[in-house]
Structure 1
Amino acid sequence: MSDPTDNDDKTLADEVSVNITRLEMAAPLNVAVPLPAGLRLAIMLAENMPVHLYRYLYEVIGKPHHWMLRRMQNDETVTSIIQAEETRILLLYVDGCPAGFAEMRLNLPESVDLLYFGLVPDYQGRGLAKFFFAEALAAAWSHNPEKLRLETNTLDSPRALQLYQRMGFSPVSTAEDVITLWK
């Protein structure tokens, strides 16, 4: 027979408190980001993305940062979200291999919300994040929203908040939340 306190301790150990920073960008920032040298790059809009490919990228990119929402949703829900008219997913390819993705939701005319952005670990540290993020911002601004919005938290890359602010985002609020760790 198991002790109920053990389960409570395990549940608490599987969760962590995080600080969330919400950021907004009110106008495009004209930042020229050079194309990383020596790599064949392509950025493509994913249309009717299969849920298995989405889940693969979501896990390989998001697991180290404990992304939570989509892993809690069933395949039907995820499919309806990622294939919705207001969703845009950009895929970054490096030398023909999927290397990252950016997911945004169009809440026009008010905003475009950048929901997820990241690189596959094998492609981090090569100067791709700033380049890809600049391209994702250009794609978001092409819809003429009043502003762009995004959130980051203390489990994201320690460089994420710095990148977002260098690219023109400003913090507008902070909050605390509890995240279930991804094992």
Structure 2
Amino acid sequence: MSSIVVTTWYLEQTSPADLLPAAAPDGDTVRIVRAEVPSPEFSRFLYASVGGDITWTDRLSWSYARWQQYLERPGTETWVAYDRGTPAGYIELAPEDDGAVEISYFGLVPAFRGRRIGGHLLSCGAARAWDLAERWDGRPPTKRVWVHTCSLDGEHAMANYQRRGFQLYDTKAEEEPAAPAPGPWPGAHTEA
């Protein structure tokens, strides 16, 4: 099997004042709602639909029980962007014991990219990371919000993070096996 070099960039905000919000998309069609009931089926749907064409594969083998256990961790939140009632993308927040909150996953379903939804969703998600302790008893106040993106992610991911006020703090390059993007299902995103 061939391999490729994947560059991973780590970015952070260290204060709520670092957040530079994007404007909401024009019109009144996009809503961002927290998925308050842990649902492995829904979370796996979002993960596969958003990451299928950009090589998100690490969670594809997770069992139902593993999804459930992950989603039920106190403070873990999934915020979903809906465009006219259809799930357009999501952002997943994973708090850490030291007051940091990781944006563990963020992205849009391919059909919704390029519509100014991503910047708005990232802005809302980062704001919810900063006020996460207000929704969860016993969580420490957020001291830092961080995220990583890599050269396999969408071409505009890094620029979106930086426009929202995230600052680069580390970069790593590693050789990984080359694998085709799995797609959300066999044959998706192919020409007919």
- Equivalent residue, structure 1, for 2:86: 97
Maintained 8 Å contact 1:68/1:179:
no
* AA aligned opposite 1:115: S
For residues 153-172 of structure 1, the aligned pairs below 5 Å read 153-172=150-169
Structure with the higher fraction of residues in helix conformation: 1
1:74 partnered with 2:63:
yes
Alignment partner, residue 123 of structure 1: 112
Distance 1:30 1:74 in 2: 35
Render the CA deviation track for 1:87-112: whole Å, top value 9, x for unaligned.
11101111011111101111144200
Match of 2:14 in 1: 26
Offset, 1:155:
0.5
The whole-number CA distance in structure 2 between the counterparts of 1:56 and 1:17 is: 28
Structure 2 counterpart of 1:48: 37
Instruction: Name the CA shift for 1:179/1:86 in 2 (closer, same or farther; >3 Å).
Output: farther
SS in 2 for 1:117: strand
Q: Relative to structure 1, is the Cα distance of residues 163 and 24 closer, same or farther in structure 2, using a 3 angstrom cutoff?
A: same
**Per-residue CA shift, 1:139-168, capped at 9, x if unaligned?**
011133111111000011121111111111
- 2:168 is aligned with 1:175: no
Q: Does 1:63 align with 2:60?
A: no
Amino acid at match of 1:27: S
Percent of counterpart pairs with the same letter?
Answer: 26
Shift in CA distance, 100/173, structure 1 to aligned 2, threshold 3 Å: same
Larger radius of gyration: 1
- CA RMSD for the aligned pairs? 1.8
Q: Quote the residue 1:146 is aligned against.
A: 143
Q: TM-score, length-normalised on structure 1? A: 0.85
Contact 2:19–2:165 (8 Å) recurs in 1 = no
CA distance in 1, matches of 2:148, 2:21: 23
Secondary structure of the residue aligned to 1:122 is: helix
Alignment match, 2:190: none
Verify the 8 A CA contact 1:100 1:120 in the aligned structure 2.
yes
Moved more, 95-104 or 61-70: 61-70
The alignment of Structure 1 onto Structure 2 pairs a total of residues equal to: 171
In structure 1, runs of 5+ residues without a counterpart are 1-11
* Match of residue 135 from structure 1: 124
Q: Which residue of 2 aligns with 1:7?
A: none
